[in-house]
Amino acid sequence: MNDELAIRARGLSKDFGHLRAVDHLDLDVPRASIYGFLGPNGSGKSTTIRMLCGLLTPTEGSADVMGFRVPEQSKELKPKIGYMTQRFSLFGDMTVTENLEFIAEIYSVPFAERAPRIEELLEKYDLAEQRKQFAGTMSGGQRQRLGLACAVLHHPELLLLDEPTSAVDPQSRRDFWANLFRLAEGGTTILVSTHYMDEAERCHKLAILDHGVKVADGAPQELQRNTGMHVIEVLADDPYHAQAAISSLPVVASVTQLGVRLRVLIPESVADALDRIEKALREYKVTARTHIADATLEDVFVAVTLNPEQRAA
Amino acid sequence: MKSLSRLMAVTRKEVRQLRRDRLTFAMIFGMPMMQILLFGYAINTDVRNLRTAVADEANTHLSREFVAQLGETQVADIRQRVNSPAELEQLLRAGEISLGVAIPPDFDRRVIDGNRSAVHILVDGSDPTVLGVANQLRNMPVNFDSNRRDKELSAVEVRPYYNPERRTPVNIVPGLMGVILTMTMMIFTAAAIVREREHGNLELLINTPVTSVELMTGKILPYIAIGMVQLALILTIGDLLFDVPVRGRVLDLYVAASLFIAANLALGLFVSTMVSTQFQAMQATFFLMMPSILLSGFMFPFDGMPVAAQYLGEALPITHFIRLTRGIMLREASLGDMPFALIYLGSFALVAMTAAALRFSKRLD
C-alpha cells in the first residue's frame, strides 16, 4: 500500500445492464491534492465516485481508498470520507443549524466539540446569517456552502464532490474553489468532478473521462503541453468560408469556431501543418491570418475525445 | 453507545420534520377522530325504520290491526299506502322503499286457514343487511286473539353476551382501533424511506456511518409514540361518546397495541424498501389495507369466510390484534388468555423488521 496515494484503483469497471458506464479505469490520486474528473454528462464521473465510496459495487476491478478496500471495507471507510452529492441532499425542512447538528450527531462528533465546530463552519462558509433559515429556502450558492460545511464537519481525510458547482453563479464558484484550496492545504484529499474547463484547470491533477474510459490524465499544464496536436489559430473576416476551406483538408482533426477565430487541431505527425492551412485558405480565396497557438485545456479535451480515426487522420 | 446516539439523532430529526409537516400532524389526530365519529354515528348494523309501503287489499279489521302492529315494531316505517302489489314492485324497483307489504283480499281466510301465508313481504334483496332484518318479521304472529300473541315460547333462547343492547359502537370500536392504527402506521412509514430517496437525502445518509438498523429503528420510534396517542384518543372518544367499555386491564391493551404498532411499522418500512416513489408507497398501502379491513373479522365474521380467506386473515397482524382488543375490552380477558395472538404479533414485527433492514442495503445498486 502506497502511503502517498489516497486512492489507487485498477481496472475499475461498472456495467448497468448492457451499458458499460465505466471501463477499466486506473486511478492514482495523491494525498492532499485536488484531483479533477473532467468529462461530459454520462462519461462515468458520478459512477466512479459512487464506486469509490462504496455506494456502487464494481463489476470488475478493485480500489484502495484511504487504505481501505472498497466495497468490502466501505463501512470502515465511511467516517473517513465526506461526500457531497450532485443534487442538494440536506433536509429542506430543517434549518441550517439543525442540519449541521444532525450531521454532527450522525458522525458522533463529541458533544463538547459540536457547538464550537458548527460555529466555526458557519463563520468559515459565510452561513452565520442564515443559521435559522430553512435549507430548502436558500439560494443555490448558500445550499452549496451548506453542503460543503456538512461534508467537512467531521474532518474527513477524503472529500468526494460530485459536480458541486453545477447550480451556482460564477462568484460562488470562485469562493467555493478558494475553500477547496484551503482544505487541500490543510491535508484533505479532494476528488471533484466537473464539466467546466476553468475548474478543471485549477486542479492539481486531472483525468479526462469519455464514455467511461479515461482518455488522458496528468497535471493540466502537462496535458496542455502533450496534446499530440498542432494548435493553429485562424483569424478570418469570413470564418464560415474559412472553416469550409480548412475542413477540406483530410489532415485536420477538428475545427472549432470562437467568434471570428477558428481553432484548428492537426496531428503533430503532420510536419507542414501551417503551410497546408494557408494553402487551403488561398485556394478558397479567403483572407485570414494564421499563427501557432498554445493548447488550452479545451483543446486538450477536444483532442483526446476525438474518435481514433480522426486522431490518426 | 455511538450507535444509540446515531439512532437518537435520526429520531430527533424525524420528530422535527414531523412537527413542521402540519398536514401530516393534523392527520395523526384527524384520522382517528373522523373514523370513530363516522363509524360510531353513521354506521349502525342494528337496522331500524326501513322505508315501507303497504298494499292492503283486504282492508279488514284484522289487516288494519296487523299493519298498525307492523309499524310498532320499529323495523318498518310505513310511508305509503298503495292499492296493488304491482305498485309495490314499482316502488321497490325505483328504490323508494326497502319493504313492500302485500296483504291479499282473502287475508282473514288465510289467517284462519293457517296453511298458506297470509302476508307477503317484498324485500329489497340488493342490500343484504335489509334482507337479514326483514327476516325478523317472519316471526310476527297474526292472530284473532290478541292476548295470545306474546305467549308463544321458543325452544331456543339467544342471550347476547358482552353487548346485550346490541349497540354497534361497542362492536366496532375495538376493531376500529386496529384499522386506524394499521392505516396511519403503514401510510407514515411506507413513505418514510421513499421520501428521503425522492428528496435525495438518502444518498447523503447512506454515505454516513449510520447503519440500516439504526436508520430504520430511529424512524420507527416516534411513530410508536404517535400510535399510543392515537390509541388513547380512540379509547377516550369511545368512552365519552359511545360508552364503549374497557372491561379488562387498560395496561394489557397498551401492551398488545405496542406489539401491533411495531408489526405495522415494520411492515410499512418493508413496503418502503420495495417501492421507489411516495405515490407507489400509497398504492401499496391501500393494497394491503383492503384485506386488513375485509378479512380481519372487523367487518365480517371470521367464521363465515372460506378456509383460504381465513388463512389469509390469520396472516394479517390486525386479525390477531382485533381478537386481543375485543377480548380485553369486551370479554374482560387478560393477555394470558390469548398468548398466541401476542406471540404472533411480536414475531411478525421481528421478521418484517429484519426483512426491511436486509432489503435496505446501504448501496445504490
Say if residue A134 is in the same domain as residue A268.
no
Say if residue A30 is in the same domain as residue A93.
yes
Residue whose C-alpha cell reads 317484498 in the numeric block: B122
- The total number of structural domains that make up chain A: 2
Say if residue A66 is in the same domain as residue A123.
yes
Say if residue A127 is in the same domain as residue A205.
yes
Number of Cβ within 10 Å of residue A132's Cβ equals 9
Residue whose C-alpha cell reads 401499496 in the numeric block: B284
* DSSP H or E run through A308: helix A308-312
Sheet holding B50-56, edge to edge: B76-82, B50-56, B99-103, B120-123
Angle, in degrees to the nearest 10, between helices A170-185 and A140-152 = 10
A177 touching B, CB under 8 A?
no
A94 touching B, CB under 8 A?
yes
Which residues, numbered 1 to 40 in chain B, qualify as contacts with chain A under a Cβ-Cβ cut-off of 8 Å?
Answer: 2, 5-6, 8-10, 12-13, 16-17, 20-21
Position A309 scores a pLDDT of: 58
Position B149 scores a pLDDT of: 46
Position B263 scores a pLDDT of: 94
Count of CA atoms in the C-beta half-sphere (13 A) of A143:
24
Is the pLDDT at A60 greater than 80, yes or no? yes
Say if residue A186 is in the same domain as residue A261.
no
Domain that holds residue A237: 227-312
Say if residue A203 is in the same domain as residue A256.
no
The backbone torsions φ and ψ at residue A156, rounded to the nearest 5 degrees and listed phi first, read -70, 150
C-alpha–C-alpha distance, residues B94 and B192, integer Å: 49
Say if residue A108 is in the same domain as residue A239.
no
3-state class (DSSP) for residue A279: helix
Contact assignment for A105 to B9 by CB distance below 8 Å: yes
Last residue of a domain, one of A181, A197, A219: A219
Helical H segments across B82-211, by residue range: 85-94, 107-113, 128-136, 168-199, 201-205
* Nearest CB to B204; choose among A74, A85, A92: A85
Full DSSP string of B263-283 = HHHHHHHHHHHH-SSHHHHHH
A98-102, A175-179, B14-18, B300-304: which has the minimum mean pLDDT?
Answer: B300-304
List the grid coordinates of A222. Answer: 502537462
List the grid coordinates of B259. Answer: 406489539
Last residue of a domain, one of A219, A252, A269: A219
CATH assignment of the domain containing A306: 3.30.70.980
Higher pLDDT, B361 or A200: A200
Whether the Cβ atoms of residue A303 and residue A228 lie closer than 8 Å to each other: yes
DSSP A79: G
Position A271 scores a pLDDT of: 87
Contact assignment for B363 to A54 by CB distance below 8 Å: yes
One-letter amino acid at A235 equals L
Count of CA atoms in the C-beta half-sphere (13 A) of B41:
8
Whether the Cβ atoms of residue A103 and residue B6 lie closer than 8 Å to each other: no
- Residues of chain B with Cβ-Cβ distance to A57 below 8 Å are 363, 365
Say if residue A9 is in the same domain as residue A132.
yes
Say if residue A55 is in the same domain as residue A116.
yes
Say if residue A135 is in the same domain as residue A252.
no
Q: Which residues of chain B have pLDDT under 50?
A: 148-151
Position B154 scores a pLDDT of: 59
Contact assignment for A78 to B17 by CB distance below 8 Å: no
Contact assignment for A79 to B209 by CB distance below 8 Å: yes
A58 touching B, CB under 8 A?
no
- Residues of chain A with Cβ-Cβ distance to B207 below 8 Å are 53, 55, 78, 81, 83
Is the pLDDT at A313 greater than 50, yes or no? no
Position B272 scores a pLDDT of: 87
Candidates B208, B213, B215, B219, partner chain A, best to mutate (most A CBs within 10 A): B208
Say if residue A167 is in the same domain as residue A193.
yes
Domains of chain B plus CATH, in order, are 2-43+166-359 (no CATH), 50-151 (3.40.1710.10)
Position B151 scores a pLDDT of: 46
Last residue of a domain, one of A191, A219, A247: A219
Position B49 scores a pLDDT of: 83
User: What secondary structure, in 3-state letters, does A33-59 show?
Assistant: CEEEEECCCCCCHHHHHHHHCCCCCCC
Full DSSP string of B27-61 = HHHHHHHHHHHIIIII--SS---EEEEEEESS--H
User: What rounded mean pLDDT belongs to chain A?
Assistant: 91
For the stretch A126-169, pLDDT in tens is 999 999 999 999 998 999 999 999 999 999 999 999 999 887 88
The backbone torsions φ and ψ at residue B288, rounded to the nearest 5 degrees and listed phi first, read -80, -25
CATH assignment of the domain containing A171: 3.40.50.300
- Residues of chain A with Cβ-Cβ distance to B23 below 8 Å are none
C-alpha–C-alpha distance, residues B296 and B319, integer Å: 4
C-alpha–C-alpha distance, residues B75 and B51, integer Å: 9
Q: How far is A65 from chain B (nearest CA, A)?
A: 14
- Residues of chain A with Cβ-Cβ distance to B10 below 8 Å are 106
Q: How far is B276 from chain A (nearest CA, A)?
A: 17
Say if residue A21 is in the same domain as residue A78.
yes
Sheet holding A288-292, edge to edge: A254-258, A261-267, A229-236, A288-292
Alpha-carbon distance values, A75 to A70, B204, B207, B354, B362 (Å)? 9, 14, 9, 19, 9
Kindly report the pTM of this predicted structure.
0.81
Position A1 scores a pLDDT of: 45
